[in-house]
Structure 1
Amino acid sequence: MNINHLRYFKEVCNQGNLTKASEICHISQPSITAAISSLENELGYKLFNKINNRLYLSEEGKVFRDLTNDFLQQFDTYYSHARDISSSAHSPLRLGVPAILGTFFFKKIIPDFYEKHPEIDLKIFEAPTIDGINMLNNAKLDLLLGIRDNKCYSNCNSKEIFSTELCLAVSKDNPLSEEKYITPEMLSRIPLVSVNKGSYHHSIMMKEFKDLPLNILMYSNQLSTIQYMISHNCASAVIYKDVFNKSEDIICIPFKDSLPVQIHIFWQKSTYKSAVMRTFISYISSLDFS
């Protein structure tokens, strides 16, 4: 039995849809369909029933889902324990960071972390918070830096690293640059550049400003692209106040009704926290982000 097939099955259970599951698992839909068929052939029973283009677990599938979730949690704990057996080993650590937070965090932790902990092989992956949570729960990441809001990430534990807020970043030549505060109504009158779907930025814009006719010209996860669009007065962006605080061409204006943001470090709930994970959490918790 292929453990990756079990992870695909778990995600199909979570999503109830092959297309959404394939996007989260970053594989093609035919590959996920083949994995489910392979499991059903091996087990000798159907895992899902399809009703109105949505997948529903069969009675056997429900029992197998619970068994699979328990096994995957135990396996992830086993894997972390196995990596901790030798204290002299060069231990890998997979860290997810949203693209927009990346530049801000990298100047704090690189190269300092590598110099202080050469025994840890830190690998950094670009991952928006929402997608990153799914990667964390599918054991594709060990830790994730991201945003914690009122949404409950039931399968994750987290620790706050620092607090900030979302603001509207505009060119110094934009008429709005003279405003003290931004109201939601102001957003409907200006072109915007937004981070891609799967990010906290996109979800908060869709949630907080759902009744406004937002004029989103571009979606991009590249900070350099967003900075170019803003500084050349092509568009504005809802973004963390800290990102452009040293820019001479960009003004960040707070919203009248503040949009606070808590940056957390996440890890999978109820699983063993390896030595390298504990080391990184302790390290990043000690940094000054003010």
Structure 2
Amino acid sequence: MDWDKLRIFHAVADAGSLTHAGETLHLSQSAVSRQIRALEESLNTTLFHRHARGLILTEQGELLFDATTAMLKRLDAAAARIRDSEDEVFGELRVTTTIGFGTLWLAPRLPKLYEKYPDLKIDLMLEERVLDLPMREADLAIRMKEPSQADLIRKRLMGVRMRLYASPDYLARRGIPETLEDISKHRLICQNPNSAQVGAGASMVQELMSYDIPSLLTVNNYFGVLQAVLHDLGIGVLPDYLIQDFPDLVRVLPDYESIEVPVFLAYPEELRHSKRIAAFRDFVQDEIITHRKLLKEKGKT
């Protein structure tokens, strides 16, 4: 099958228009149209439904588009491996992790990585959805659960527990709860139990809500929970990894916490020899070692 025709087909399918695909490919509309007709003839099928508003893929076109998408992602992976030099770390690295971990732990530490590797270009994708690493939706992931996808190299980085925290001003004004039952006298700040989050966090929130909380603030990510706690709004359910960077927060009910949540780093097997991957992996591991030492020194673990 002619790769040039497949490349043009993919551009048309992606753009939904012969004209827009031609602009992207620097080809005339008629040249693009000829290539699509030739591809349809070689496959003896119709790839697009044509109408006034543009082009829509047929069922056969959808199958071919899925195949060309996978091919392009594999080519991107191969190009990334080729670009990796033996001695330098440069180029783009697409990292995905959760909103909470990315904003509260990872992003504040990235200046150290850029200081060491100024030519690195990081695309940080923060979302709760698990991206498909083998299909190259991202190069590397840090997740609060061991990845189940095949053909991944994975490493357990650390464990996280959900705990209760409040600001000193809030506790001075409202008092310090001595038992779980005392939570009913306070405003609880947490993620909505139905929002995407680790199971341990959702279970903890559900238990706390059983104490007839009079005032509640729910946010769909831990960054928002933290901001509310810092502004003296109440007692927040937060991951313990943030206490290093917010040492003034007071842990409430220190014997109460969630079960441990494992944190894993993962990347595709085909990127095993990537210098960018190795640099980022080593950086994260070093930061976690420092993080553990500081917590141990402060007696927070």
Scaled to the shorter chain, the TM-score interval is 0.5 to 0.7
The Cα of 1:127 is off from its aligned counterpart by 0.7
Q: State the alpha-carbon separation in 2 of the partners of residues 95 and 210 from structure 1.
A: 31
**1:244-255 equivalences in 2 (<5 Å):** 244-245=243-244, 246-253=246-253
Number of the residue aligned with 1:105: 106
> How big is each residue's C-alpha offset from its partner over 1:183-235, in whole Å with a ceiling of 9 and x where there is no partner?
9x96898533327987534x544456568668753325473x43342244434
Q: State the alpha-carbon separation in 1 of the partners of residues 225 and 81 from structure 2.
A: 42
Amino acid of the residue matched to residue 2 of structure 1?
A: H
Q: State the alpha-carbon separation in 2 of the partners of residues 155 and 208 from structure 1.
A: 33
> How big is each residue's C-alpha offset from its partner over 1:48-77, in whole Å with a ceiling of 9 and x where there is no partner?
xxxxxxxxxx8x799769956863563343
Number of the residue aligned with 1:157: 153
Instruction: Please give the secondary structure, in 1, of the residue aligned with 2:271.
Output: coil
The Cα of 1:260 is off from its aligned counterpart by 0.6
CA contact (8 A) 2:84 2:275 kept: yes
Amino acid of the residue matched to residue 178 of structure 1?
A: E
Residues 146 and 195 of structure 1: CA distance in aligned 2, closer, same or farther (over 3 Å): farther
Amino acid of the residue matched to residue 142 of structure 1?
A: D
Computing the radius of gyration over CA atoms, which structure comes out larger, 1 or 2?
2
Amino acid of the residue matched to residue 143 of structure 1?
A: L
**Structure 1: gaps spanning 5 or more residues:** 7-37, 47-57
Amino acid of the residue matched to residue 270 of structure 2?
A: T
How many residues get paired? Answer: 236
Q: State the alpha-carbon separation in 2 of the partners of residues 270 and 65 from structure 1.
A: 25
Residues 103 and 71 of structure 1: CA distance in aligned 2, closer, same or farther (over 3 Å): same
Number of the residue aligned with 1:139: 136
Amino acid of the residue matched to residue 192 of structure 1?
A: I
Instruction: Please give the secondary structure, in 2, of the residue aligned with 1:242.
Output: helix
CA contact (8 A) 1:147 1:200 kept: no
Number of the residue aligned with 1:17: none
Q: State the alpha-carbon separation in 2 of the partners of residues 4 and 235 from structure 1.
A: 53
Q: State the alpha-carbon separation in 1 of the partners of residues 133 and 148 from structure 2.
A: 15
Residues 238 and 77 of structure 1: CA distance in aligned 2, closer, same or farther (over 3 Å): same
CA contact (8 A) 2:164 2:257 kept: no
CA contact (8 A) 2:226 2:236 kept: no
CA RMSD of aligned residues (A): 4.6
CA contact (8 A) 2:161 2:260 kept: yes
Q: TM-score, normalization: structure 1?
A: 0.59
Amino acid of the residue matched to residue 285 of structure 1?
A: Q
Instruction: Please give the secondary structure, in 1, of the residue aligned with 2:282.
Output: helix
Instruction: Please give the secondary structure, in 1, of the residue aligned with 2:138.
Output: coil
Residues 163 and 191 of structure 1: CA distance in aligned 2, closer, same or farther (over 3 Å): closer
Kindly indicate which of the two structures has a greater share of residues assigned to helix.
2
Number of the residue aligned with 2:10: 2
Instruction: Please give the secondary structure, in 2, of the residue aligned with 1:110.
Output: helix
Kindly indicate which of the two structures has a greater share of residues assigned to strand.
1
Number of the residue aligned with 1:12: none
Number of the residue aligned with 1:44: 46
CA contact (8 A) 1:193 1:219 kept: yes
**Structure 2: gaps spanning 5 or more residues:** 1-8, 15-35, 49-58, 293-301
